[in-house]
Amino acid sequence: MEGRWIEVADRVLVRRYTELDLSVGLVMGDGGCLVVDTRGDERQGAELAAEVRRITRDPWTVVITHSHFDHSFGTRPFLDCPVWAQEGCRADLIADGAGTKEAWARRYRQEGRADIADDIAKTEIVLPDRLVTDRAELTVGGREIVMAYFGRGHSSNDLVVHVPDAGVVFAGDLVENGAPPAYGDAYPLEWPAAVAGLLGLAGEGTVVPGHGDPMDRRSVTAQHADITAVAGLCREVAAGRMSVPEAVRLSPYPEDTIRAALQRPAG
């Protein structure tokens, strides 16, 4: 089976995939539903759309947590519908979407996975048409949905999706469960504040990471502490008060993770 559903609250489901350990979401109401992220290419998006349709025939709305391909490239099979995202997501897809397609298709081909490479190469990137600056609310099937942007973190455009009546927050890749955070185009010094905002919104509820199984507040708080530690190491190295080898030694994450964080801009 390519994916499996987990119900984390009343009519709030997470679909888990082995590929990239990805987690996407479905929130069902009365007469409408919300799909949170659409996977990494049109074929994957079509699989997700078909699985949603096995559960509900209600009209859907899509929200994208951030612009990275594995969360946003599968949107085409869901059209026509509203597609929400933080405003920086649209800008990033316009500026870097084509290059990202080429880079990931090349990477999968080098790994001997020509099928996925071909699917990515053929995918048409869909731009979100409902943009969030800091916060927006909508009602889907009678259920309130809150979308909040707490600043740059894992990317420039991480959008958190809160379902208040279920006590569930979809965090995108602001947190991950089972692997270190990815700092490839992150903002290490700002990331802790974004996770702090997420924690404030989530309360004692369930947090769904972009990768891995759902998390409780304790797990997210522990990750916030580690991300804060990485920010401190980046700050010390940038100021010349600490060497890179010392930062590697003190890092809560593996060497490749802290080195990637240290290569990101300090400002």
Question: pLDDT of 160-208, one tens digit each?
Answer: 999 999 999 999 999 999 999 999 999 999 999 999 999 999 999 999 9
Per the model's pLDDT, the better-predicted residue between 266 and 177 turns out to be 177
Q: Is the model's pTM score more than 0.95?
A: yes
- What is the structure's pLDDT at 267? 62
b/e code 13-45 from CB counts within 10 Å (16+ = b): bbbbbeeebbbbbbbbbeebbbbbbbbbbbbbb
Q: Is the pLDDT of residue 265 over 90?
A: no
Per the model's pLDDT, the better-predicted residue between 265 and 4 turns out to be 4
State the average pLDDT over residues 70-76.
Answer: 98
User: In terms of C-beta density within 10 A (0-12 exposed, 13-18 middle, 19 or more buried), how is residue 97 classed?
Assistant: buried
| Among 192, 170, 212, CA closest to 252 | 192
Strand partners, 35: 26, 62
Which pLDDT band holds residue 266 (cuts at 50, 70, 90)? confident
Q: Is the pLDDT of residue 154 over 70?
A: yes
What's the pLDDT tens digit per position in 7-56? 999 999 999 999 999 999 999 999 999 999 999 999 999 999 999 999 99
- Thinking of the domain 3-262, which architecture would CATH place it in? 4-Layer Sandwich (3.60)
Q: Which range, of 2-6, 143-147, 236-240, averages the lowest pLDDT?
A: 2-6
Question: To which residue do tokens 């740059």 refer?
Answer: 152
Q: Is the pLDDT of residue 111 over 60?
A: yes
The domain locations on the chain are: 3-262
- What is the structure's pLDDT at 207? 98
Residue 82: CA count within 13 A, CB half-sphere: 14
Q: Is the pLDDT of residue 1 over 50?
A: no
Q: What is the mean pLDDT of the chain?
A: 97
